[in-house]
Amino acid sequence: MARFKVVVSDPKTGTSKAVEVEGERANLLLGRKIGDTIDGSILGMSGVKLQITGGSDISGFPMRPDIHGGVKARVIVSGGVGFKPKRKGERRRRTLRGNVITEDIVQVNMKIVEK
């Protein structure tokens, strides 16, 4: 059974709220991708549209929007999610998670798009 910790942030006020989701409500998030917009009633926030911005899996590896699928992959990155280069032009091989929410994901990050 799927279980997620969903962190919802409000860009206008700068606040965030953590919500535990499990069971049928959590199954509605499975298969969604980073960038998808969902209705807030899934999380008990009616009248709100939410956009998925990222997340992390049980091992702590972050989700990255440019890795397709729900797989864990070792990719060479030069910056962005999962790697901050120390020198100009530096690239490293990092283990990252794909952009699809699967049962391996523990935390899902979202932001409020419209009220």
**pLDDT above 80 (res 50):** yes
**pLDDT above 80 (res 1):** no
- Asked whether the beta carbons of 7 and 17 are under 8 A apart, the reply is yes
- At residue 100, the pLDDT reads 96
Number of separate helices (H) and strands (E) present in the chain: 1, 7
Beta bridge partners of 9: 16, 111
What is the pLDDT averaged over residues 49-67? 95
What is the pLDDT averaged over residues 97-115? 94
The structural domains of the chain, with segments of one domain joined by +, span 3-114
What global pTM score does this model have?
A: 0.90
Coil vs helix vs strand at 37: strand
Cα–Cα distances in angstroms (integers) from residue 5 to residues 43, 49, 71, 90, 111, in the given order: 11, 18, 20, 33, 14
Phi/psi of residue 11, each to 5°?
A: -65, -25
